[in-house]
Amino acid sequence: MPLVAVPNNLDEADLESGIYIDLDDEPNRYLLSYYQDFAQDIAVRQDKQVQLNSETLAKTIIPEHLRTSIKEISVQLLRNAVVHGIEAPAARQLEGKPIVGIIDIEIKNEGQDFIIIPQDDGQGIDYDSIRHKLVAMNRYSVEQASNLNRTDLLKQLFSSGFSTKDDADEDGGCGVGLDIIKA
């Protein structure tokens, strides 16, 4: 049986006459493109500019049974980076940053575990904002919130119904997202 090598497009292959061998070195290159488009769509709605990079996403082989979970988690992390992390272009300029925010998402295959590492060059986590929101939501008194350490505050980001965003829109502020990742 002859071999059929198809580097880019299955539609051009005659799979009945041979064995298909995917010569593409990046098994998830379409996934990277999907995430880049997704990040751009959110950025446009949020009046921000972003560039998504990943050196590992297109090269990491993700087993079929984990693809949906990894995609859902990655989508939430990307959404969070654009909505909460990356500043508007004017704010970035005031900080001396390029107007285009950079987001990196890396995936590591550690045997039985997959590690998703999101990073952005945005404003970072505003711990005081978390404290104020906890008080505004009547979850803590002012005194209790002021006594929370950074670890305790970070845990709040993963609690159901919590968001530091004042107004909800289709991209964030509903308090649904990081709690899904935790689950």
CATH classification of the domain holding 84? 3.30.565.10
CB of 80 closer than 8 Å to CB of 161? no
pLDDT of 14 strictly over 50: no
Q: What is the Cα–Cα distance from 80 to 52, expressed in whole angstroms?
A: 13
In-domain check, residue 9:
no
pLDDT of 1 strictly over 60: no
Q: Considering only the C-alpha atoms of the chain, give the largest distance between any 2 of them, rounded to a whole number of Å.
A: 75
Q: Looking at residue 84, what DSSP letter applies?
A: I
Residues 146, 149, 151: CA angle, nearest 5 degrees: 140
Q: What is the Cα–Cα distance from 134 to 146, expressed in whole angstroms?
A: 10
pLDDT of 165 strictly over 70: no
In-domain check, residue 7:
no
47, 99: one domain: yes
136, 74: one domain: no
Q: Provide the number of structural domains found in the chain.
A: 2
Among 30-44, 130-144, 169-183, which stretch is predicted with the lowest mean pLDDT?
169-183
Mean pLDDT of 139-151: 96
Does the predicted model carry a pTM greater than 0.95?
no
31, 104: one domain: yes
**Nearby residues of 101 by Cβ (< 8 Å), 6 or more positions away:** 48, 49, 50, 51, 82, 85, 86, 87, 92, 120, 121, 122
Q: What is the Cα–Cα distance from 71 to 61, expressed in whole angstroms?
A: 13
For residue 65, the enclosing domain spans 26-124
Q: Which of residues 80, 103, 124 is at a domain's end? A: 124
Per-residue confidence (pLDDT) for residue 63, from 0 to 100:
85
Categorize the per-residue pLDDT at 176 as very low, low, confident or very high, splitting at 50, 70 and 90: low
Categorize the per-residue pLDDT at 30 as very low, low, confident or very high, splitting at 50, 70 and 90: confident
Q: What is the Cα–Cα distance from 41 to 38, expressed in whole angstroms?
A: 5
Q: What is the Cα–Cα distance from 98 to 110, expressed in whole angstroms?
A: 34
140, 90: one domain: no
| Helix (H), strand (E) at residue 182 | helix 178-182
Mean pLDDT of 81-101: 96
Residues 108, 99, 123: CA angle, nearest 5 degrees: 60
